[in-house]
Structure 1
Amino acid sequence: MEINYKNTSINYSTKGSGNPLVLLHGFLESLEIWENFQDNLSEKRQVVCIDLPGHGRSGCIDKVHTMKDMALSVKAVLDELNIKKAFLAGHSMGGYVNLEFQNIFPIIPTGLALINSTPKADSKKRRLNRDKATRIVAKNKRAFVNMAISNLLTPENNKKYKPQVDELKNRALNFPKEGIIAALQGMKIRADHSRLLAGLKYPKYLMAGEKDPILNYEEVKRISTATGSEFRSYPDGHLAFIENKKGLMDFMHFID
C-alpha cells in the first residue's frame, strides 16, 4: 500500500487490528526486515511497517532527508490509517526517526524501543565518515552497499547468516543513490535526543548487541541507565532482527 506524500509515494504495510505497533527499519533497510515479525505479532495487534523516504519502495522527498522529514512521513501514514496512539520501535536509523517522532508528536506514542540505536547525535568523526560515505555512494553505490552492510556483523555472523545478508544487500542495491545520500546527510545533522529520552514517562527500551561493530555496547548501557530506560542485551551484532531474531520477537510479544 502507499500514500502520496510531498509529491512522491510512501510505501507501507499494515496487518492485524487494535493496540498499534509501528516498526521502523534502519539505513539501507526496508519494511521487509519486519515481515516475519508482522506476521507473528499481528495475531494480537495491528502492526504497521513503513518504508522510510528513499528506502524500499518509497520515493525521495528532498536532497537531504532529515529525521524530521522521515518522522513526518510516518505521521502521514498513521493519519491515513487513522491511528491516534501507537508504540514505536525503530532499528538503528529507525530509532533516530522514532525519537524525532516522539519530539514532534508527544501525545501519540504509548512507548518506544530503540533497537541497535542511540539517542546521541553523531560525533565529529562520525559526521566526517558520513561525508566520506556520501562520496563513495556517488561513485560506486554497489561497493558502498556491500561494504556498509557487511560491516554491521562480525565476520562469523556474515558467514552464518549469508543468505539473509545477501538478501539485505540485494534489496538495498535497488534503492536510488539519491535516497541513500539523503539519509546519510540527514543522519549527520540529527539532534541529540538524550534529554528528550530521559524525560519520557511511558515505557522506553534500549537494546544493544554485545558485538555490535557500529555502536559501543557499554555506552548504550550507560545511556540506558542515565535516561531511565530499560536495557535489553543481545549477544551478537548490529542486526538484531537477523542475528537475535527470537529474542527480539519475544520482546515484541512482551510489550503487547
Structure 2
Amino acid sequence: MEINYKNTSIHFSTRGTGNPLVLLHGFLESSEIWEDFQESVSEKRQVVCIDLPGHGRSGCIDQVHTMKDMALTVKAVMEELNIERAFLAGHSMGGYVNLEFQNIFPTLPTGLALINSTPKADSEERRINRDRATELVLKNKRAFVNMAISSLLTPENNKRFKPEVEELKNRALNFPKEGISAALQGMKIRADHSRSLEAVKTPKYIMAGEKDPILDYNEIKKISNACNTGFFSYPDGHLAFIENKKSLMKFLHFID
C-alpha cells in the first residue's frame, strides 16, 4: 500500500485488527525487516510497517530528512489508516523517529519501545562521522553500504548470519544515495530526547545489545534507569531483529 505525501510515494503495509502497533525500521533498512514479526504479532493486533522516506519503496521528500519529517510521515500513514493512537516500536533510527513522534504528538502513543536505539543526540565526533559518511555515500554507495552494515554486528555474527546480512545489504543498495545521505544528515541534527523520555507516562521500554558496536551497552542501561523504562538485554550486537529474533518476537508479543 502507499500514500502520496509531499508529492512523494510512501510505502507501508498493515495486517491484523485492533490495538495498533507501528514498527519503524532503522537506517539502511526497510519495512521488510519486520515481515516475520508482522505476520506473527498481527494474529492478536493490527501491525503497521512503514518504509521511512528514502528507504525501501518510499521516495525522498527533501535533501535532509529530519526526524520530524519522518515522524510527520508516520502520522500521515496513521491518518490514512484512521489510527488515532498506537504503540510505536523503532529500531535504531526508527527509535529516533519514535521519540520525535512522541515529542510532537505526546497524547497519541499508547507506549514506545527503543530497539538498539538511544534518546541521546549525536556527539560532536559522531556528527563529524555523519558528514564523512555522507561524502562516501555520494562517491561510492556500494562501499559505504557494505562497510556500514557489516559494522553493526560482531565478526562472529557477520559469519553466523551471512545470508541475512547479505540480504540487508542488497536491499540497501537499491535505496537512492540521496535518501541515504538525507537520513544521515537528519540523524546528525536530531534533538536530545532524554528528558522527554523520562517524562513519558505510558509504557516505555529499551532493548540493548551487550555487544552492540554502535551504542555503549552500559550507557544505554544507565539511560534506561534514569528514564525509568523497562529494560531488555540481548547478548549480541546492533541488529536484534536478526541476531536475537526470538527474544524480540517474544517482546513484541509481550507488549500486547
Give the structure-1-normalised TM-score: 1.00
Task: State the distance in 2 between where 1:135 and 1:178 align.
Answer: 11
Q: Are residue 135 (structure 1) and residue 124 (structure 2) matched? A: no
Deviation at 1:167, TM superposition (A): 0.3
Amino acid at match of 1:53: P
The one-letter code matched in structure 1 to 2:85 is K
Q: Deviations over 1:233-252 (max 9, x none)?
A: 00000000000000000000
Deviations 1:203-249 (A, max 9, x none): 00011000000000000000000001111100000000000000000
Distance 2:201 2:181 in 1: 35
> What is the letter of the counterpart of residue 131 of structure 2?
D
Distance (Å, rounded) in 2 between the aligned partners of 1:9 and 1:218? 40
Residue deviations 1:136-175, cap 9 Å, x none? 0010000000000000000000000000000000000000
Instruction: For 2:16 and 2:254, locate their aligned partners in 1 and report how far apart those are by CA, in whole Å.
Output: 17
- 3-state secondary structure, aligned to 2:133: helix
Could you say which residue in structure 1 is the equivalent of 2:55?
55
Q: How does 1:1-256 map to 2 (within 5 A)?
A: 1-256=1-256
State the 4+ residue runs in structure 1 displaced beyond 6 angstroms: none
- Quick one: which amino acid aligns to residue 8 of structure 2? T
User: 1:35, 1:164 → 2: CA distance?
Assistant: 13
Question: CA offsets per residue over residues 98-128 of structure 1, 9 Å max, x none?
Answer: 0000000111100000000000000000000
CA distance in 1, matches of 2:49, 2:187: 20
Deviation at 1:41, TM superposition (A): 0.4
Normalising to structure 2: TM-score of the pair? 1.00
Letter of the aligned partner of 1:81 in structure 2? L
Shift of residue 130, structure 1, vs aligned partner: 0.0
CA distance in 1, matches of 2:67, 2:182: 10
Q: Distance in 2 between matches of 1:184 and 1:85?
A: 29
* Distance in 1, Cα, partners of 2:64 & 2:89: 23
